[in-house]
Chains A and B, each alone.
Chain A
Amino acid sequence: MGGIAFGIFYGSIAFCVIASIVRMVRYANAPLHLRWELYRGSSVYELSDWWTKTHIGFKDKLKSVVLDILSLREYYHRNRGFWYVLYIFHIGLYLLVLWHIWLFVGAVTIDIEAAPLWGLVWGGVASGLVFIGGAGILIKRITDEKLKVYYPRIHYFKWAFILITLAGAFYSVQFFFGASMPAVMEYVKSQLSFELEHKLHPPLVPALHVLFLSPWLIYLPLGHIMQLFFRYYHELRWDHVPNLRGSDIERRVKKLLSQPVTWSASHIQSGKRWSEVAQGLPEDTTGKE
């Protein structure tokens, strides 16, 4: 049993890391796309000779990303009823992730016996917010007619599973570790050591919690959170960098234009390169296919 838990937990960590890297590499290697942006307000195109003007900078993008992530502002403006529960859930989740980071770092850097009580409060509040937010989301998803539309059945189980995982965490900390911060940290520290004894024969309660956590580590790189990377860092909303002659973008465009066109309709000229096909219509094109 202990060996299985050990395998699942550390396997899920490995999967999370590897799958995240694979997905990020996939995005990073995505080809340059045609520009298709949206604007929240005025852009550089309001200026004559816009290609000589300053485009939106990294700081502006970063500000927008931080605002989006911390306040879920699109939901706040467009779907307030759903925002309340989403916001509680996400703030709790951010706090919980930070708490876990603190636990792991603290376990090897601070005097465990003197682990502060506020650490316990932090973890408790974060878990409470995630639980309340998660339960709120589940209730909204069940009761709100609009939120039910096209919502995959499996996701209802996802939310229920989150609540069970949190309940397990609460039970572990409160009852198994006796609401003792040093006890929690000691356990975390044992997980960070290379000593196999603790891992192969773990105590049942925290082992169960860790087992429940494993599916989330597997889900994380496959879920929506990874889209943030896609959305913000691959210039989908903003792509103001013009394709100037001799630029890196031009080089990449030329490379793409040297690829063959594979589409089958008769006006396309399948098999020829993009740069050749773009020169004009095939002689016999009438538009009637």
Chain B
Amino acid sequence: MKRKRTRLSDISQKPDEQLLEITAEDLVPLPYPYDKLDTKTPIRPLTEEQKNTYESSLDGVSVVGIPKPKSKEEEDRLVKSFLSGLKKLLSKEDNWTFWQQLMLTLESCVRCQTCNEACPIYLASGEQEIYRPTYRSEVLRRIKKKYLDKGGKFLAKFTGNDVELNWPTIARLAELAYRCTMCRRCAMWCPLGSDNGLITHELRKLFSQEMGIAAKELHELGTVQQLKVGASTGITPKAFKNMIQFMEDEIEEKTGKKIKMPVDKEGADILLIHNSGEFLSWMENPEAFAIIFEAAGVSWTLSSEIAGYEATNYGVWYDDVQLARIALKQSEVARKLKVKKVVVGECGHAHKALTVIADRVLTDEANIHRESCLPLLEDLVCNDKLKLDPKKNDFPVTLHDPCNIVRLMGIVEPQRRILRKICPQFREMEPHGVENYCCGGGSGFAIMPSMNFPDWRASVAGRMKLKQILEVFQDVSSPEIKKYMCAPCSNCKGQLRDLFSYYNVWEKSGILYGGLVELIVNAMVDIKEPFIRWEWR
């Protein structure tokens, strides 16, 4: 039975009813071996206690964990606070950081819905109205028109603007701001330059900077922890140094090479900065960087200072002030070490945050040079500065394009030139490059295990990516044939890990995910044992 389409005004009504409940039938079909309809409920319902405690009336999912207001007075205070934040968003003095882009987006949309086809979440969900990329933008636009523009309430009667600004609207908008990965594929599609991903960003910012509402993993356990402890993973400088020791031992065990990973070496050419998630979950990635840099004679160092061993900057996803604080800390570390430049490891959002976005925050000595690791790796591989044997990588390989590195920075080719040189069976997914699909873990989703959100992330947000990964390997679909999904981004790997686990991809299809440098080391002539271990982790 066809579901009744959700209207814009529904967001303000029936606070105790969910606007959407996703079923298996709604979801876009997957190819073999997932081509038989899975009838199990894709998203586990929240427990009764969770439902009673947290707002979840958008789609039955809670990731922000917004407590339900206890009184009408509290609701009114929150509504007032939202409106105050919205006024600030629209003020060029208060919101100079993104005012221009926001005004362009609010004023230029012609409702042609061209962007709809670009959104992996909207498509994967079976085109559910609330996930339409223009839905949250249109709600915001109508609230602005009705409650902030002159004569707005009067005009609303004639224009049919029946969105009400009340607590249900705000609670649902807060969750809705976490149903978009900010991959900005929709912005790429928009002929007018309207950016619905930016609306997500600005909404999250309003909630965080004005109302103190943000996903715990981004704020309390993310940027706050990073600024206080040193890393969003909670790794302290002391623990980091122990991990370095562990990695040096592991490199020797795996390769027979005795490598001293330089830490806090003053005057090195490069400060290499990794997403600290690598040290916890994928140590082979920083190990591979160390092996490559040592083999090529690169002058480099790591840092054990607070924020110096953590490339992430979750501020980019929800809070401009936190973004600036972290970028400044990272540049301070580089300045103290007197390095020539900072090179960002395989972490997509760190690429964009530190190299590009922070460019308008860093001044004077803080304005150190920053760049991606990919041009350097390309130089080492493609100019034969390493001895490599492509036959060692003779298995099917495909490449995931992290949105932040590719569409949002224009680093498209270096990683491809590397793979073409060292992987004889490299193949492209469709679409790829700047038109890629997000992995589904963007904008912090990959590090959010809150309540039933991981189910939503795997079954909806990551579905289009999974579909194209399965499609590219259809000719070698047997799990006996081992295949490699190269994702040069820590958060993308986190998402792929959870996505593949949810669908048992390793067992059913034999696809392993990993970074780019691991493939380079795997092809190095003087590394006898395969560096890539074909085992699920």
Q: Footprint of B on A, CB under 8 Å?
A: 27, 30-51, 68, 72, 74-75, 78-79, 82, 146-147, 149-154, 224, 227, 230-231, 234, 236-237, 242-245, 249-250, 253-254, 256-257, 259, 261-268, 274, 277-281, 285-289
Contact = CB atoms under 8 A, between A and B. Distances in A.
Nearest to A39: B410
A147 B114 CA distance: 9
B321 A41 contact: no
Contact of B367 (A48, A224, A250): A250
A49 B359 CA distance: 15
A268 B100 contact: no
Given A231-B192, A243-B367, A289-B212, A279 B325 contact: yes
Interface of B: 8, 81, 84-85, 88, 92-94, 96-101, 103-104, 107-108, 110-114, 116-118, 132, 134, 138, 159-160, 184, 187-193, 195, 198, 208-213, 216, 219-221, 224-225, 227-228, 320-322, 324-325, 328-329, 341, 355-357, 359-364, 367, 369, 371-372, 374-376, 379, 406-414, 433-434
Contacts of B113: 146-147, 149
A191 B168 CA distance: 57
Given A48-B379, A245-B364, 12 more contacts: A34-B320, A41-B412, A42-B413, A68-B191, A74-B190, A147-B111, A152-B111, A245-B367, A253-B361, A257-B363, A264-B209, A264-B211
B111 A151 contact: yes
A51 B217 CA distance: 34
21 contacts: A27-B100, A30-B92, A31-B92, A31-B100, A33-B101, A35-B356, A38-B407, A39-B434, A45-B410, A46-B374, A75-B114, A78-B114, A230-B103, A242-B359, A243-B367, A254-B363, A264-B209, A265-B210, A285-B228, A286-B220, A288-B220
Contacts of B362: 243
A264 B210 CA distance: 5
A254 B360 CA distance: 9
A286 B224 contact: yes
Given A41-B412, A243-B359, A253-B363, A30 B100 contact: yes
A40 B412 CA distance: 10
Given A79-B114, A147-B113, A280-B325, A48 B99 contact: no
B210 A224 contact: no
Consensus secondary structure, chain A interface: loop
B110 A224 contact: yes
A80 B367 CA distance: 45
Contacts of B110: 224
Contact of B375 (A46, A74, A82, A287): A46
A224 to B, nearest CB: 6
B360 A35 contact: yes
Query: Which of A33, A245, A263 neighbours the largest number of chain B CB atoms within 10 Å of its CB?
Result: A263
Contacts of A259: 93, 96
A259 B210 CA distance: 17
A250 B198 CA distance: 24
In the A-B complex, list the 7 residue pairs whose CB atoms are closest, starting with the nearest.
Answer: A43-B410, A287-B220, A289-B212, A39-B410, A74-B191, A287-B224, A263-B209
B383 to A, nearest CB: 12
Nearest to B332: A279
Contacts of A45: 355-356, 371-372, 375, 409-411
Contact of B410 (A46, A49, A147, A285): A46
Nearest to B360: A34
Contact of B321 (A78, A151, A263, A287): A263
Contacts of A262: 88, 93-94
A31 B96 CA distance: 6
Contacts of A249: 360
Given A45-B371, A227-B107, A36 B409 contact: no
Contacts of B372: 45
A261 B114 contact: no
Nearest to B323: A34
Nearest to B320: A34
Contact of B224 (A44, A263, A285): A285
Contacts of B359: 35, 242-243
Given A41-B410, A42-B412, A79-B112, A230 B184 contact: no
A150 B433 contact: no
A74 B216 CA distance: 38
A231 B105 CA distance: 10
A154 B159 contact: yes
A287 B219 contact: yes
A257 B367 CA distance: 14
Contact of A72 (B132, B191, B328): B191
Contacts of A149: 111, 113, 132, 134
B388 to A, nearest CB: 20
Given A37-B408, A39-B409, A153-B159, A287 B100 contact: no
Contacts of B96: 31-33, 256, 259
A41 B406 CA distance: 8
A78 B371 contact: no
Contacts of A154: 159
B355 to A, nearest CB: 7
Contacts of A48: 371, 375-376, 379
Given A48-B371, A147-B112, A227-B108, A33 B191 contact: no
A250 B213 CA distance: 32
A72 to B, nearest CB: 7
A245 B335 CA distance: 14
Nearest to A47: B375
A267 B324 CA distance: 13
A90 B98 CA distance: 31
A286 to B, nearest CB: 7
Contacts of A236: 100-101, 104, 193
